């Protein structure tokens, strides 16, 4: 139960997951922090991750400072803090445990999003001449055209949904789900709103080990008002299991 100081983990923030010239994707930053954090405890899977995004780090050297808040029998809780030049950029707390083979749920409501077949969906690739978007290189992301207003016609509903897997074929593990919970384009795009949507707080609950294969992701907003919006996210696996749920509070800054 005593707090331990496991020492920092050095990171090199490279261009792989950058959006535009020099900003790493927030979900990928968080994934790196979670990986470092759970490395300090005996529980391999993040069950609940909550993160506050304070500042965007530049590319290059950074560190994750770690603190074990509680090392328990069934779960452990660890803080991971991304620091660069003495500045905290991202502060995350992870409660980690061990996920096994899922059993039949006591209760379940809801269904995976209904999507057109993968080949009928739109690749979320950056158009030639536009800013490079590392997400579209790292992920094979296929968007439902009826909910991708910026690519086809605005839907009027703050919802985006699609298929996702790694372009490299890398399997999606529970830590990767943390990144995928923030991988779709902002739901504001579906409304034709093109402002900047910086994530302020992101919480991810991992519910099961994902089965191999395509995942289905849906993100929705309930309220966009006074410069703020929520986004909720569900990720379903190829066995129709809900494997992750997430919510975020983001700013909305019109351009």
Q: Which residues bind its own copies (CB under 8 A)?
A: 1-3, 47-48, 50-52, 54-55, 69-70, 75, 77, 79, 86-88, 91, 93, 95, 99-100, 102-110, 157-158, 191, 193, 200-201, 203, 205, 207-208, 221-226, 228-230, 242, 245, 247, 249, 252
Smallest distance from its own copies to CB 111, Å? 11
Q: Is 1 or 114 the residue whose CB approaches its own copies more closely?
A: 1
For residue 251, the cross-strand partners are: 228
Q: CB of 63: closest distance to its own copies in angstroms? A: 15
Which of residues 110 and 117 has its CB atom nearest to its own copies in the complex?
110
Give 23 or 75: the residue with its C-beta nearer to its own copies. 75
Least gap, CB of 181 to its own copies (angstroms): 12
- The DSSP element (H or E) to which 166 belongs, if any, is strand 159-166
CA neighbor of 184 nearest in space, from 130, 148, 227, 229: 148
Q: Which residues is 219 bridged to in the sheet?
A: 160, 233
- 233 forms bridges with which residues in the sheet? 219, 246
Residue 238's Cα: distance from chain center in Å? 19
User: Min. distance of Cβ 234 from its own copies in angstroms?
Assistant: 8
Whole-number Å distance between alpha carbons of 223 and 245: 18
Q: Which is nearer to its own copies, 79 or 161 (CB)?
A: 79
State the distance between the two ends of the chain, measured CA to CA, in whole angstroms.
48
How many alpha carbons lie under 13 Å from residue 104 in its C-beta half-sphere?
0
Rounded Cα distance, 210 and 204, in Å: 15
Residue closer to its own copies by CB (options 134, 174) is: 174
Q: Which residue has the tokens 């993100």?
A: 219
CB of 142 to its own copies, least distance (A): 25
């Amino acid at each position: 139960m005593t707090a331990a100081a496991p020492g920092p983990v050095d990171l090199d923030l490279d261009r792989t997951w950058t959006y535009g010239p020099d900003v790493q994707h927030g979900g990928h930053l968080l994934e790196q922090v979670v990986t470092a954090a759970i490395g300090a405890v005996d529980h391999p899977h993040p069950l609940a991750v909550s993160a506050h995004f304070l500042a965007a780090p530049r590319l290059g050297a950074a560190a994750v400072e770690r603190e074990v808040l509680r090392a328990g029998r069934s779960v452990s809780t660890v803080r991971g803090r991304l620091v660069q030049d003495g500045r905290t950029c991202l502060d995350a707390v992870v409660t980690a445990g061990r996920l096994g083979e899922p059993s039949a749920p006591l209760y379940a409501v809801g269904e995976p999003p209904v999507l057109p077949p993968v080949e009928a969906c739109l690749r979320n690739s950056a158009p030639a001449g536009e800013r490079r978007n590392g997400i579209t290189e790292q992920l094979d992301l296929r968007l439902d055209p009826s909910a991708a207003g910026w690519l086809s016609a605005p839907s009027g509903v703050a919802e985006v949904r699609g298929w996702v897997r790694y372009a490299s074929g890398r399997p999606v593990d529970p830590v990767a789900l943390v990144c995928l919970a923030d991988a779709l384009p902002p739901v504001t795009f579906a409304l034709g709103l093109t402002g900047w949507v910086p994530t302020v707080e992101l919480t991810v609950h991992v519910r099961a080990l994902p089965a191999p294969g395509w995942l289905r992701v849906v993100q929705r907003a309930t309220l966009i008002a006074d410069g703020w919006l929520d986004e909720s996210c569900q990720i379903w696996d190829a066995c129709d299991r809900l494997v992750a749920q997430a919510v975020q509070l983001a700013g909305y800054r019109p351009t």
